[in-house]
Every structure is written in C-alpha cells, then in structure tokens.
C-alpha cells in the first residue's frame, strides 16, 4: 500500500501541475481528494492493514493528502495571480490621471449675477417681461412718438401682426407698473433686439439691465447716490461718475452716465456706461390710463429709471476687443473665465 500511495502521489501532483485553468484544478481536486477518490478508498482499507504497519501506512496517507492539498492550493493561487496580472497588462498605473472637465458660468452671466447681487442688496427686486412685446409697452407708454427713429422698421424687428422684439428692457418698467403698486423698486436684466449690423461693438441680440424706483419723493439725488454706490461696488471704491445731460423720451431730466476707469497700466479714462433720468410724467399718465386708477399719479409719486448694456460693461471690465467673443462660444476664450 505504501508503494501504491507513492505512485498515487506522483500521478496526482503531475495532474495538478498540468492543470491549465481553474476548472481543471477543481476537477483534479475532486478526482484525487474527493469522496470517490482512490485516496479516500485507501483510507477505508486501513482496517485490512496489519497492526504493525498501521502507523506507517497512516502517516503515509496523511503525507500524500497534505501534499496534494498543498499543490492544489498553490496552483489555484498561481492561476489567480496570472489572471490579475493579465487584467492590468498594458495599463501604466504610473501615468497621471486625466483632469475632469469643470463647467463655468459665461462671463456675461458672471457679470449679470454680480450686478444683480449688488442691486438686490440695495433693495431692488428682480422683475421680468416678455421679449416679444407690443408697440404700446415698448414705445407708446414710454412716451416715444410714432415718428421716433427707434420705431423705424430699419431699426426694430416687427412681426406681421405689429408686435416686435423689444428694443430695450425699458418695457419692463411699464409691465411692472401695470401690476404692482408703489413703492416699486425693481431691476430687470434681459435680452433686447435691434436691427443693427453686427460688428466689433454691435450685436442684434444683446443684454440690458433696467432699473426703476417709484415712490413718494424720489429725487435726482437718490438716482445719483444709487448709481454711484452700484458702480463703486462693481468697479472699485475709487470709481467716479459723471452725469451728462441727454435726452430720452421716457425720462425728464435725462442723463448719460460716464464712469472713470482705472485699468492697470493705463491712464484713467471716462467711458459712457448707462442712460438714466427721472421718470417722465407722461409715462405715469400712460400707466394710469391703462390701469384705470391714479396710484401712479405724477402729482403723488416720482421715480428714477436707468438702463445699461451688459455686453458693453463686460467689454470694459474684461478688456474685450470685440463684442462677438461673447457669443462665439470659443472654449479658448470661455475657459479663461471658468
């Protein structure tokens, strides 16, 4: 039996080492260590072994079983290691990782968010109005006569039914006063549209921000103080403002606002940045007529309004040479603001 066991051990170890994959190793385990294996059978034959040989045969049985078990365990571990190695073959784990793409807000959005935040902090609430407007909201109620050049078909996009794409956000002044009662303090950022030739400083669809404050006893001093505080918060505490008399149909008096820019490495210079003024009584009268009440009676309330182009502000603030950079979506440009 001792010789039989030695032979069995040789056969089993040869079979295990020849097993090419995990199923083959498992088959060898069943064949050589399983219930029906020769080894288990020989264990059952121990009682036939003469007493003086039982010790030696028993020891041999154990030795063979241990040897086969060890060989199978080692083979399984070796196959597993080979499988792991194959899975990562060709992958260079020392390469640096790929950076994840990071989104960012468009520079114009960033600027608008900043402007809105400052004015909200000063008590202005956000207001909106439609981009497709009536002539009445865009022009008539804003005291703009029928023969005003801004109403020309060459300057304004009209629909066949007489509606139009709003040429400024000032229409939101009217929309707001139609539904809200004074005191009213709103800002309205949004798109405006004009039939302009597109070039380095003009777009046919652009962005404005309107402001309106109506209450009893709102004065020109309030307007100047508000715009001064706003531009100082936006452009820096040393920013100076200049109010130049101008004309707008919907304000009286009206002004254009210039700010003094201090850009690094450049001499200070004045740039035009907004239009503003005290709301014209004719605007209040138009609103009163539309509402059918007198809550905007120009004898009772006064107010100021202002409007600014946000692309222009962005060009000044970010030093852009061409307004079209803001709509071309060139990632090389946009990335600089992410």
Nearest by Cα to 248 from 173, 323, 163: 173
245 beta partners: 255
CA–CA distances in Å: residue 250 to residues 108, 171, 201, 241: 27, 11, 25, 22
Handedness of CA 124, 128, 134, 135 (dihedral sign): positive
Least distance in Å: CB of 305 to ligand DAH? Answer: 3
Measured from the CB of residue 107, what is the shortest distance to ligand DAH in angstroms?
21
Q: Between 16 and 190, name the residue whose CB sits nearer to ligand DAH.
A: 190
Q: How far is the CB of 314 from ligand DAH (least distance, A)?
A: 16
Nearer to ligand DAH, 182 or 307 (CB): 307
* Residues ≥6 apart with Cβ < 8 Å to 60: 1, 2, 5, 6
Write phi, then psi, for 330 (nearest 5 degrees).
Answer: -80, 115
Q: What one-character-per-residue DSSP string does 89-140 give?
A: TT--TTSPPPPPP-----HHHHHHHHHHHHHHHTTPEE----SEE-HHHHTG
Are 147 and 155 contacting, i.e. CB atoms less than 8 angstroms apart?
Answer: no
Which residue's CB is nearer to ligand DAH, number 32 or number 306? 306
Task: Give the residues lining the site for ligand DAH (CB under 6 A).
Answer: 168, 170, 210, 248, 251, 275-277, 305-307
Give the nearer residue to ligand DAH in terms of CB position, either 9 or 312: 312
Residue with smaller CB distance to ligand DAH, 107 or 277: 277
Write down the least CB distance from residue 127 to ligand DAH, Å.
Answer: 13
At closest approach, how far in Å is the CB of 247 from ligand DAH? 10
**Residue 37 vs 171, nearer CB to ligand DAH:** 171
CB of 171 to ligand DAH, least distance (A): 9
The residue among 158 and 333 lying less far from ligand DAH, judged by its C-beta, is 158
The CB-side HSE value for 236 (13 A sphere, CA atoms) comes to 10
Q: Which one, 37 or 302, has the nearer CB to ligand DAH?
A: 302
Closest approach, Cβ 193 to ligand DAH, in A, equals 11
| CA nearest to 277, candidates 252, 302, 241, 297 | 252
CA 293 to chain centre: 44
Residue 160 CB, shortest distance to ligand DAH, in Å, is 25
Three-state secondary structure of 188-244: EEEEEECCCCCECCECCEEEEEEEEEEECCCCHHHHHHHHHHHHHHHHCCCCCEEEE
């Amino acid at each position: 039996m001792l010789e039989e066991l030695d032979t069995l051990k040789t056969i089993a170890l040869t079979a295990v080492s020849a097993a090419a994959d995990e199923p083959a190793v498992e088959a060898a385990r069943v064949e050589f260590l399983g219930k029906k294996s020769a080894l288990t059978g020989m264990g059952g034959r121990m009682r036939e072994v003469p007493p003086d040989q039982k010790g030696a045969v028993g020891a041999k049985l154990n030795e063979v079983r241990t040897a086969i078990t060890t060989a199978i365990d080692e083979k399984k571990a070796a196959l597993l290691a080979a499988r792991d190695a194959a899975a990562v073959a060709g992958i260079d784990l020392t390469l640096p990782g790929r950076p994840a793409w990071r989104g960012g807000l468009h520079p114009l959005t960033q600027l608008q968010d900043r402007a809105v935040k400052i004015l909200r902090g000063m008590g202005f609430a956000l207001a909106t109005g439609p981009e497709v407007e009536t002539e009445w909201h865009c022009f008539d109620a804003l005291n703009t006569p029928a023969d005003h050049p801004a109403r020309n078909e060459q300057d304004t996009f009209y629909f066949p039914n007489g509606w139009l794409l709003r040429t400024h956000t000032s229409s939101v002044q009217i929309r707001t006063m139609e539904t809200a009662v004074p005191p009213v303090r709103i800002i309205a950022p949004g798109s405006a549209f004009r039939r302009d030739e597109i070039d380095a400083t003009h777009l046919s669809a652009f962005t404005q921000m309107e402001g309106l404050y109506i209450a009893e006893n709102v004065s020109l001093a309030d307007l100047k103080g508000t715009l001064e505080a706003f531009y100082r918060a936006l452009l820096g505490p040393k920013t100076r403002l200049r109010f130049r008399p101008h004309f707008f149909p919907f304000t009286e008096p009206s002004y254009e606002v210039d700010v003094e820019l201090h850009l690094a490495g450049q001499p200070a210079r004045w740039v035009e940045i907004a239009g503003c003024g005290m709301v014209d009584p004719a605007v209040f009268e138009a609103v009163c007529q539309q509402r059918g009440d007198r809550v905007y009676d120009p004898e009772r309330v006064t107010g100021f309004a202002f409007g600014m182009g946000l692309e222009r502000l962005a060009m000044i603030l970010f030093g852009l040479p061409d307004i079209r950079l803001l709509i071309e979506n060139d990632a090389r440009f946009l990335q600089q603001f992410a």
